């Protein structure tokens, strides 16, 4: 139900959906969950004030999760580290590799739309 709120086309539809979800939670006798959705769901919709091309990137933190998954995978292969310093060295080496490759230099957000409002109006 919470994913449905963020899958809406615009902010007004998302706000309407959050009220609908809160009502459904109240009907399911989940009053505290309904209160949270009713009072706090609006705070999670701030990404709607940015251009629609940025919504997915602002809503998620996939690049960071990907790096953490990669480090976790590498440390599990080693198993037990002799000391904390060697674990830190492996993690730092992986982060240096990510930063130096094409993947590390890739732009996650294009700031052109934010810096040039005329492009934003033309895209709409």
- pLDDT band per the 50, 70, 90 thresholds, residue 24: very high
Burial track 41-73 (b if 16+ CB lie within 10 A, e otherwise):
beeebebbeebeebeebeeeeeeeeebeeebee
CB 17 within 8 A of CB 5: yes
CB 18 within 8 Å of CB 90: no
Q: Would you say residue 112 has pLDDT above 80?
A: no
pLDDT at residue 22 tops 90: yes
Same domain, 39 and 75: no
Q: Per-residue pLDDT for 79 more than 90?
A: no
DSSP code, position 111: T
Each residue's pLDDT tens digit, 32-58: 999 999 888 888 888 787 777 777 667
Instruction: Tell me which residue range forms the domain holding 41.
Output: 2-49
- Does some domain include residue 92? yes
The number of distinct structural domains making up the chain is 2
| Torsional sign, CA 26, 28, 30, 33 | negative
């Amino acid at each position: 139900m919470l994913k449905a709120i963020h899958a809406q086309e615009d902010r007004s539809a998302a706000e309407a959906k959050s009220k609908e979800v809160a009502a459904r939670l109240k009907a399911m006798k989940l009053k505290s969950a309904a209160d949270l959705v009713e009072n706090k769901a609006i705070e999670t919709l701030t990404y709607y004030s940015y251009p629609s091309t940025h919504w997915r990137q602002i809503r998620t933190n996939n690049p960071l999760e990907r790096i953490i998954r990669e480090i976790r995978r590498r440390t599990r292969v080693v198993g037990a580290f002799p000391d904390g310093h060697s674990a830190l060295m492996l993690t730092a080496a992986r982060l240096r590799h990510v930063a130096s490759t094409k993947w590390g230099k890739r732009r996650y957000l294009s700031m052109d739309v934010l810096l040039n409002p005329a492009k934003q109006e033309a895209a709409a």
